[in-house]
């Protein structure tokens, strides 16, 4: 049976490489790598699994601003397996709209946002990722 899967992400988002997010953590102190960011959520990588349906406290420290917001874990899966570690990739949906923070990060970033606001997955930022 063939199944066609459409684009499930509807908000404009930008790759972390185009932003100036200096540090990203999930409380209590779990470092994550931001893969991409929208005003309503983020895709992250972590060395710890994220529990889908769970609530997390997100702290993103940008160049000129810091965002602290609660979020729901939408999904999480194993991204990379190493002999001594596992990297997980998960999606977070913020409990409140964070347009002001997102707009500021895009404005301060180093790369333009495509007209449709959609970007592909970018490489590692805080965690190593051996997928190529």
**CATH code, domain with 94:** 2.40.10.220
User: Which residues, 6 or more positions from 54, have their beta carbon under 8 angstroms from its beta carbon?
Assistant: 72, 73
**Residue 82 predicted with pLDDT over 80:** yes
User: Which residues, 6 or more positions from 106, have their beta carbon under 8 angstroms from its beta carbon?
Assistant: 14, 18, 19, 113
Which residues is 68 bridged to in the sheet? 59
- Banded model confidence at residue 104, pLDDT cuts 50, 70, 90: confident
Q: What's the confidence (pLDDT) of residue 17?
A: 73
Q: What's the confidence (pLDDT) of residue 10?
A: 62
The answer to whether 113 touches 106, Cβ cutoff 8 Å, is yes
Query: Is residue 41 included in any domain, yes or no?
Result: yes
Query: Is residue 118 included in any domain, yes or no?
Result: no
**pLDDT per residue as tens digits for the range 15-67:** 767 777 888 999 877 899 999 988 899 999 999 999 999 999 999 987 778 88
Q: How many domains does the chain have?
A: 1
Q: What's the confidence (pLDDT) of residue 101?
A: 80
Query: Is residue 98 included in any domain, yes or no?
Result: yes
Query: Is residue 6 included in any domain, yes or no?
Result: no
- Banded model confidence at residue 132, pLDDT cuts 50, 70, 90: very low
Query: Is residue 97 included in any domain, yes or no?
Result: yes
Q: What's the confidence (pLDDT) of residue 121?
A: 31
Q: The tokens 């990722």 sit on which residue?
A: 129
Query: Is residue 25 included in any domain, yes or no?
Result: yes
Please list the alpha-helical segments (H only) found in 1-132.
Answer: 99-108
Query: Is residue 19 included in any domain, yes or no?
Result: yes
Q: What is the C-alpha separation between 102 and 8, in angstroms, rounded?
A: 20
Query: Is residue 123 included in any domain, yes or no?
Result: no
Question: What domain range is 95 assigned to?
Answer: 13-108
- In this prediction, what percent of the chain has a pLDDT beyond 90? 43
């Amino acid at each position: 049976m063939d199944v066609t899967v459409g684009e499930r992400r509807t908000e404009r988002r930008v790759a972390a490489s185009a932003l100036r997010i200096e540090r990203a953590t999930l409380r209590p102190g779990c470092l994550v790598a931001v893969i991409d960011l929208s005003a309503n959520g983020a895709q992250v990588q972590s060395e710890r699994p994220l529990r889908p349906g769970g609530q997390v406290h997100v702290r993103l420290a940008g160049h000129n601003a810091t965002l602290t917001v609660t979020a729901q874990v939408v999904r999480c899966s194993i991204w990379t397996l190493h002999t001594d570690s596992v990297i997980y990739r998960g999606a977070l949906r913020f409990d409140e709209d964070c347009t002001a923070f997102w707009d500021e990060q895009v404005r301060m970033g180093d790369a333009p946002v495509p007209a449709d606001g959609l970007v592909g997955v970018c490489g590692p930022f805080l965690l190593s990722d051996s997928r190529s």
